[in-house]
Amino acid sequence: MSSKATHFFLFILWLFFLWNSSVFGQTISPETESCLTCHRTVTPGIVADWESSRHSRVSPGEGLKKPFLERRISASGLPDSLQNVVVGCGECHRLRPKRHADTFDHNGMDVHIVVTPEDCGVCHPQEQGQYRQNKMAHARTNLTQNDLYQDFVKAVNGLQAYYDHTLVLHNPEDQTNKLSCYFCHGTRVTVEGMVPRETAFGEMTFPDLSGWPNQGVGRINPDTSKGSCTPCHARHAFSIEVARKPYTCGECHKGPDVLAYKVYEASKMGNIYSSLKEQWDFQAVPWTIGKDFTAPTCATCHMSLLVDEQGNEIAFRSHRMNDRLYVRLFGLPYAHPQPRSPETSAMKNEAGLQLPTNLDGSMVQGPLIDQNEQMKRKQKMQSVCQGCHSTQWVNKHFSDLDHVIRTTNIRTLEATKILQQAWHRGLERGIPQRSNIFDETLEKKWVLSWFFYSNSTRLAAAMAGADYAVFDNGRWQLALNLREMEDWLELKTVADSVGGTERLLP
């Protein structure tokens, strides 16, 4: 009991030092001090946000001294300038000035606006390297360099003019694309010149950025690098807590096309997270199953460095998202093994479309990972699951997922058959007519089938998301949509046979 009392007073003492240490200032570089002088007034939110960050309290030099598993930076060495100062404006916005087309003279300092993965990589090279191997880093170019995907972009964003009783699809404006697909996939940010602007401190001149603002994961930056760290590590607090919470992933993965967040939220895991998260530690590195949390978030299963209470490693940190993924569940007509390369536009199917599968669901050989690699990745994920689930539970869960992949792929195949009939009869113009396959009614309903409903059904199986497999964009909608496709084909055929479209003429 008296040792308990000692503990109690040590606890109070510890609280005191904790409070004290957060008050002690760390060394801020003169450059950062000079930025703060004005920006404390002109952008107070940015400064206060940064002040709440670990960057503002710990120098990279100190960070490097931590035990390996607790380390948040992965550099083996650091430039002298970053050893003994905390990481502030003056550090990040002045790195690699020559490489940045957006570098400009700002009150006597060469600063750039857009901090890129190459900049962050000075202290976090391993994360940068992994992210470069991540499909997300190529999210923009995988769209822009794929003719088929460009047809999809056009079908979504292009204005349709009703002219002479027909809808004519126009090319989308760049600004529309920026606010639509490329909002998440990333814009190309270029410097269009320098523009003067009146400020609180007199006239100043700034680079004029096109494709800005944007925080897409595959953004092309003024230093030619690809990607962005801030979609997940929201500036300027760069809080690991924010990155680990599911809302971050949910920014882009919530809609009916990529509803992973919603499925998670409806799952048992999401339930426990929502119920108990205030009692968990989202800042601990490494992250201890059971001690720091009792249910996973997106980051837990897909990215984080996990240990058990004895400190045994359960999974290594990775910023290459598909390290623990053996199949690709969403985005394309048929689920299929993960592609080998994060740059997917080189893939081509038998019909010449830049897809890893043919329209009948058969896989294109070569660009996809083989069974061996699939098994390896599946096992990585399973070892995370097994932190909280028995082996039988986990094995059967994945066998269920494989079942769903197979049966939803059949759903796509049947929908494709109806669409091909429409093309064959000339009711819509598709592959036989070398036309956009996403811009007409039945084509769009075909897209719904796999892009929304099969996707939802699969993700629900992957994360145990109940109704997303049934009535919430799941099998019910798959069945209804297929019936509507069948009806459409019949009605259009009949209309056509009695001279349909001509009757539209006035």
- Binding its own copies (rule: CB under 8 A), the pick from 10, 69, 159, 375 is 159
* CA distance between the termini of the chain: 96
Indicate whether 2 belongs to the interface with its own copies (CB under 8 A): no
> Beta-strand (E) ranges in 98-183?
103-106, 109-112, 160-163, 166-169
Binding residues among 208-227 for its own copies as defined by CB under 8 A: 208-209, 212-213, 215
Q: Which residues contact 76 (CB under 8 A, 6 or more apart)?
A: none
What distance in Å separates the CA atoms of residue 271 and residue 416, rounded to the nearest whole number?
37
Indicate whether 68 belongs to the interface with its own copies (CB under 8 A): no
Indicate whether 352 belongs to the interface with its own copies (CB under 8 A): no
Indicate whether 497 belongs to the interface with its own copies (CB under 8 A): yes
- Binding its own copies (rule: CB under 8 A), the pick from 61, 97, 125, 256 is 256
CB 349 within 8 A of CB 357: yes
Q: Which two tokens stand for residue 266?
A: 């409806």
Residue type, 46: I
Indicate whether 364 belongs to the interface with its own copies (CB under 8 A): no
What distance in Å separates the CA atoms of residue 235 and residue 221, rounded to the nearest whole number?
16
CB of 30 to its own copies, least distance (A): 22
CB of 63 to its own copies, least distance (A): 22
Using the rule CB under 8 A, give the single segment among 30-38, 66-74, 233-241, 348-356 that binds its own copies.
233-241
Using the rule CB under 8 A, give the single segment among 119-127, 290-298, 318-326, 337-345 that binds its own copies.
290-298
CB of 377 to its own copies, least distance (A): 20
CB of 179 to its own copies, least distance (A): 6
Closer to its own copies by Cβ: residue 368 or 442: 442
Half-sphere exposure of 124 (CA within 13 A, CB side): 20
Indicate whether 294 belongs to the interface with its own copies (CB under 8 A): yes
- Binding its own copies (rule: CB under 8 A), the pick from 8, 33, 69, 360 is 8
CB of 325 to its own copies, least distance (A): 19
- Binding its own copies (rule: CB under 8 A), the pick from 35, 85, 87, 184 is 184
Indicate whether 283 belongs to the interface with its own copies (CB under 8 A): no
Indicate whether 379 belongs to the interface with its own copies (CB under 8 A): no
Size of the site for its own copies (CB under 8 A): 143
Buried b (16+ CB within 10 A) or exposed e, 463-483: bbbeebbeebbbbebbeebbe
Indicate whether 291 belongs to the interface with its own copies (CB under 8 A): yes
CB atoms within 10 A of CB 318: 20
Strand pairing report for 287-288 and 202-210: unpaired
Using the rule CB under 8 A, give the single segment among 81-89, 348-356, 358-366, 437-445 that binds its own copies.
437-445
- Binding its own copies (rule: CB under 8 A), the pick from 270, 286, 337, 339 is 270
Closer to its own copies by Cβ: residue 370 or 400: 400
Indicate whether 252 belongs to the interface with its own copies (CB under 8 A): yes
What distance in Å separates the CA atoms of residue 378 and residue 363, rounded to the nearest whole number?
19
What distance in Å separates the CA atoms of residue 244 and residue 262, rounded to the nearest whole number?
16
What distance in Å separates the CA atoms of residue 485 and residue 490, rounded to the nearest whole number?
9
Query: For residue 288, what are the β-bridge partners?
Result: 307
Closest CA to 452 of 422, 483, 476, 430: 476
Q: Is the dihedral of CA 288, 290, 293, 295 positive or negative?
A: positive
Indicate whether 498 belongs to the interface with its own copies (CB under 8 A): yes
Closer to its own copies by Cβ: residue 33 or 414: 414
Measured between alpha carbons, how far is residue 75 from residues 50, 79, 95 in Å? 22, 10, 15
Indicate whether 483 belongs to the interface with its own copies (CB under 8 A): yes
Indicate whether 311 belongs to the interface with its own copies (CB under 8 A): no
DSSP letter at 501 equals G
- Residues for the chain: how many in total? 506
What distance in Å separates the CA atoms of residue 425 and residue 495, rounded to the nearest whole number?
12
What distance in Å separates the CA atoms of residue 334 and residue 381, rounded to the nearest whole number?
22
Binding residues among 82-141 for its own copies as defined by CB under 8 A: 113
Closer to its own copies by Cβ: residue 91 or 428: 428
Indicate whether 254 belongs to the interface with its own copies (CB under 8 A): yes
Using the rule CB under 8 A, give the single segment among 61-69, 204-212, 218-226, 326-334 that binds its own copies.
204-212
Indicate whether 316 belongs to the interface with its own copies (CB under 8 A): no
Instruction: Indicate the burial class of 177 (C-beta count within 10 angstroms; 0-12, 13-18, 19 or more).
Output: buried
Closer to its own copies by Cβ: residue 58 or 156: 156
Q: Which two tokens stand for residue 137?
A: 């880093």
